[in-house]
Chains A and B, each alone.
Chain A
Amino acid sequence: MKFFIEKLMRVLMILSLLLVFGFVFSIVFTIFSKGWSAMSWDMITKLPGGGFYIGKEGGFLNAIVGSLYIVGASTLLGLLISIPVVFYLNIYLKKKSKLAYVTRLAYDVLFGVPSIVYGAFAFTIMVYLGVKASLLGGIIVVTLLIIPIFVRSMDEVAKEFPREILDATYSLGATRLETIRVVVRQIAPGIATATLLSIGRAIGDAAAVIFTAGYTDSIPTSLSQPVATLPLAVFFQLSSPIAEVQDRAYAAALVLTVIVLILSLLGRYFTNRFSKNKLK
């Protein structure tokens, strides 16, 4: 009997694993097959033309550039804020510090807060300050959204940082601040993976920017103008009843998926590659 159950469970386990692969394959295949037939060079190099929303000429360059603006700026800001935080957590604070515990908990919770709540919260603040939906609003809310991801994944690596190396730098007379050069070099692969992870999340998020960044057919030239993003381009165009416009949604979805896939594979590659020559 027990050997029968053993066999049965083994079959079930393999089935569930196949199911996971099935989902991945189904999603990627659907997006590629639908998107590929709708894809054309115009789509990614042209702005929406006059009759874009009734199926006439144009592409969604506005959304691609808009997403890149938001992602680029917020990733940079996120790095600038989160590296000091991680450094302080791991070098300045003691291992068993209460503050470190509370902060890590806060970041874990912030990581779990849905992006729609970030969006709603940022929107109320923007209304209060009189800021309209704009590139600036989008950048700020996405920065807030990805800081927890940055901090959590860098902290994961920094926690493993060998104390001996720290002691060695101290004994050479370095201050805590000066060891940052050693620490950053050691956790560089962690920073790289965290960055890729954050970019992936930042480029794919729609719920936060739907309130704060707005949507437009042109490429913004200043921080106070509204900006289009790829996920929202997919979302808005898919809700159109016209088949040609829906096709563009599929093409935009394909672009988004390809970017995310590259980021995710690159992330795996970084972790595998750089973890080998790390000092332990």
Chain B
Amino acid sequence: MRINFRTLCDKGAGGMMFILLILSVVLLIAMGIGLWFKAAPVLEGRMLKDLLFSANWKPLKGEFGFLPFVMGTLWITGIAIILALPISLLAATFLTEYARPVIKKYVFPALDILAALPSVIYGVWGTLIIVPWISEELALLFVEYSTGYSALASGIVLGVMILPLLVSLFIELFSAVPNDLREASLGLGATKWQTTHRVVLRKTIPGMIAAVVLAISRAFGETIAVLMVCGNLAQVPNSMFDAVYPIPALIANNYGEMLSLPLYEAALMFAALILFVVVLLFNLASRMVLYRIEKKSN
């Protein structure tokens, strides 16, 4: 009798845990469907391509062209990746191929801190350090005047924010390369950099692409830090010193007003849907690649 009770517990608990597990997968699907339903009014009678590629943003007249926001997001993400990629690649290479273990002891806590700092702190840092630096020094070299609240400022802040993610992904990838390959290359007389460059880096290219895609999708959704330094002007930027208005900032800035105009609300939900879909696709693709690599190395 006692044994029956125990197996019953086992089965019952298993069922409950199974439900919890399924719920979490359902949450992901529900998110997509929920946002889709909310965004449906703005999609009605409008072409997707008009929504995405028109620069007419006049919510009060019912014109919703997302081009300024899409371009804003692309600009700042692009700048962030261009800045963060070489730094993280070099740092990760140094840590896995060159550095003695002692150095890691000091670097990892620093990366931990970068990863842990809330985005609003990055925003404060951006407004205090990066924005004045751009408007008072850097911008004067290139353009006549810039407030500093610009695509570049957002890009720099974002770049620093995705650094720890990129470095830790790269380190994981590089450490998975078997040592035999390195030794073979060194034995042929290659220098350490030649080995790194021609063997380690080449071998991890698919993984690196996946890591970068993951970082891009992280940068896409970053809200508060970017909101504080981007300038919030609904225009298509011409240079990196222009103010931008990325999609997450659009949603966060207008959360209060959006209830008064149903179509406006739908448009903002459409913005959230764009973010969701892009992040979903990018994440799915890159995670699947990374899983495969992980499996191979085991």
Contacts and interface: CB of A to CB of B under 8 A. Distances in A.
A54 interface: no
Contact of A206 (B38, B120, B167): B120
B17 interface: yes
B178 interface: no
User: Quick one: which of B21, B25, B269 has the most chain A CB within 10 A?
Assistant: B21
A203 B117 CA distance: 10
A13 B91 contact: yes
Contact of B114 (A13, A24, A147, A268): A24
B163 A23 contact: yes
B219 to A, nearest CB: 10
Contacts of A238: 123-124, 127, 228
Contacts of A105: 284, 287-288, 291
B269 A120 contact: yes
Nearest to B189: A2
Interface stretch (A27-35, A41-49, A183-191, A217-225): A27-35
Contact of B125 (A27, A104, A177): A27
A112 B215 CA distance: 9
Contacts of A234: 120-121, 123-124
A34 to B, nearest CB: 7
B148 interface: no
B161 to A, nearest CB: 10
A89 B21 contact: yes
Nearest to A89: B21
**Interface size classification for chain A:** 35 or more
Interface residues of B, number: 86
Nearest to A234: B120
A204 B272 CA distance: 21
Nearest to B87: A16
A20 B116 contact: no
Nearest to B274: A117
Contacts, number: 255
The secondary-structure label for the interface of chain B is helix
A31 B288 CA distance: 39
A235 B120 contact: yes
A204 B24 contact: no
A204 B224 CA distance: 11
B261 interface: no
Nearest to A179: B10
Interface string A139-160: 0000010010001000000000
B121 A257 contact: yes
A178 to B, nearest CB: 7
Interface of B: 6-7, 9-10, 13-14, 16-18, 20-21, 24-25, 27-28, 31, 34-35, 38, 86-88, 90-91, 93-95, 98, 107-125, 127-129, 160, 163, 167, 190-194, 196, 214, 217-218, 220-224, 228, 248, 251-252, 255, 259, 268-269, 272, 275-276, 279-280, 282-284, 287-288, 291
7 contacts: A6-B194, A85-B24, A103-B21, A112-B217, A117-B35, A175-B9, A249-B124
